[in-house]
Amino acid sequence: MEPSSEKYKIFLKGGKNAILLVHGITGTPSEMRYLAKYFNKAGYTVLCNTLPHHCSSLEELKKATWQEITALCSEDFKALKKEHEKVFVAGLSMGALVSMHLAAQFPDDVAGIIAFAPTFFYDGWAVHKGQVLLPLAWHIPYFRNRIDIRENPPYGLKDESLRNTIHAFYSKAGKSNPNEKVIMFGSPFFPLASLYQLHKFSKVVKKELPQVKTPILIIHAKEDDMTSLKNAEYVFRNIGSPDKSFTVLEDSYHMIVIDKEKERVASETLKFISRF
């Protein structure tokens, strides 16, 4: 991980149990800050690291591979497990897939999975229909490294106040020399290279799901603007966990960890992990 991104990492020391939070691809640890503080206040040690090549320039972000991302998260998990009795893994969007992947990697060590808006494919109501053609381009390196999709409202947020705050920075953001505030919110551009990595990684996780027996809580918004409920339903149907539950939110979009029902997301998660 590049040194400049180290300052964005969240690490809050707590008691004998820990939670590893994994932010979304093109996102930042700041999107997990509310949950991190909530869980730490409840007595848990919480770690949310900066994913490789994130919180930097757009060109740096394009270098991120799913192998690098999962390798870092594996090391973080092992480090937490050395010091804590139980370690839970919770991730947003692609981070939710990472959580399930870690459970496949460490079947006897992951105490529980929390999948926030798991994302295998972008099929939400706000996704431009022309994006169905992107798979034709992402297999070609020339196009994959040059096509960047600008993020547009609602940015995964039903909370209008927060959405307007982010829009004030995103609307003026260029592709080079990102503003510090923009870095805190995540990239205003979604590189095709990142979508390609999600595509490849999702195929890996789909194959692993039947073997995953770890208890899981899935939370997804009914009105998710980026990824429909079909993503969460796929996980629920195919994961091998005998202990699985599914919460559907009625007043949020994709970024459920910071949107209008973030408190419910936090309390449902805490209720789930408190069982173990």
Superfamily designation of domain 3-273: Alpha/Beta hydrolase fold, catalytic domain (3.40.50.1820)
Which residues are CB-contacts of 232 (< 8 A; sequence separation ≥ 6)? 115, 117, 118, 218, 219, 220, 246
* Angle, alpha carbons 53-203-142 (nearest 5°): 55
Task: Give all strands of the β-sheet with 244-249 in edge-to-edge order.
Answer: 10-12, 45-48, 17-22, 86-92, 110-116, 216-221, 244-249
Gyration radius of the chain over CA positions: 17
Q: Which residue is listed with tokens 């972008």?
A: 122
What is the token pair recorded at 13?
């020391």
Rounded distance between C-alpha atoms, residue 241 and residue 150, angstroms: 37
Cα 215 → chain centroid:
19
Burial of 198 (0-12, 13-18, 19+ CB in 10 A): buried
Looking at residue 28, the DSSP 8-state letter turns out to be -
Q: Please state the domain extents for the chain.
A: 3-273
What phi-psi label fits residue 186: left (phi over 0), alpha (psi between -120 and 50 degrees) or beta? left
What is the token pair recorded at 249?
């939110």
Q: Checking DSSP bridges between strand 45-48 and strand 17-22, what pairing results, if any?
A: parallel
pLDDT tens for the chain, 276 residues: list them.
Answer: 444 567 889 999 999 999 999 999 999 999 999 999 999 999 999 999 999 999 888 899 999 999 999 999 999 999 999 999 999 999 999 999 999 999 999 999 999 999 999 999 989 998 876 666 567 667 777 678 888 888 889 999 999 999 999 998 888 877 765 666 667 788 888 899 999 999 999 999 999 999 999 999 999 999 999 999 999 999 999 999 999 999 999 999 999 999 999 999 999 999 999 999
pTM for the model: 0.94
